[in-house]
Structure 1
Amino acid sequence: AYTLGSGWAATTALDWTRPVVPDQLTMAQVQAVDLMVASDCIFLQELVTPFFQTVATVFRHMTRPALLLTFPQRHKNVGSATFTTLAHIWQEVVVERQWSCHCVTWQSVTLVDGTVTQVLVLEIRP
């Protein structure tokens, strides 16, 4: 745990293909979560559902569930079967799970090859 102001913060990596409790975290650890933060975690389409299943598990035990997710737009083609798009995330979060999803901020980023893309910070709540 890290001291943060008058409180603390801790981090952990989660494997979305395994149960959160008890395989990766204790119930006490899950219940102590105040905010989930995930950065650049779901770049492949096949990771979207397992990622949000893991988020849902933790959300069920949080007092005020919230996730801040950074999402670099790698592929703008909505029909991509490989790479996750904002449309895929919207479908999973808003349409299927009926959660809220708001863009908190975004930043244009120039990649090594000169391509300009957007990195979004999304706030997701059930």
Structure 2
Amino acid sequence: MARSSTSQTEAERRKRSKEVYERAISAVDHNSGNKQPPLASKPSVVGTLNRAGFGLEEIHRAFTAARRNGDLFQTKDDEGRTWIGINDRWKLREKIESNLSRVDDPREEVIGLANDRVQKLRLQGEDDE
């Protein structure tokens, strides 16, 4: 009996981890592009997820897993700010273009970081469909 209760707890833990993982990717996607820079400010996304009821440790685990799985990437600008983005060449290009078309004074450094990632993904042959 203790075993099934342990399995249920493990199943619940996995379900919660999956939920945080999916919400983290969604939060990054929704907090980048259009009038926002093509990459999301990591502290801003962490704050959003934390206010939604997720713990800081589980948020950071989700980001680590998403980077390891190739769904997200993380970078820093020249001032040491951490940015996180969708690790898909085509989505990044779309976010860059939408930001440039909707903002009078785009954050050129962040656009440069996103363009660097697009170039790296292109050279790696990622998403070449």
TM-score higher than 0.5: no
Q: Which has the larger radius of gyration?
A: 2
TM-score (norm 2): 0.29
Structure 1 or 2: larger strand share? 1
Structure 1 or 2: larger helix share? 2
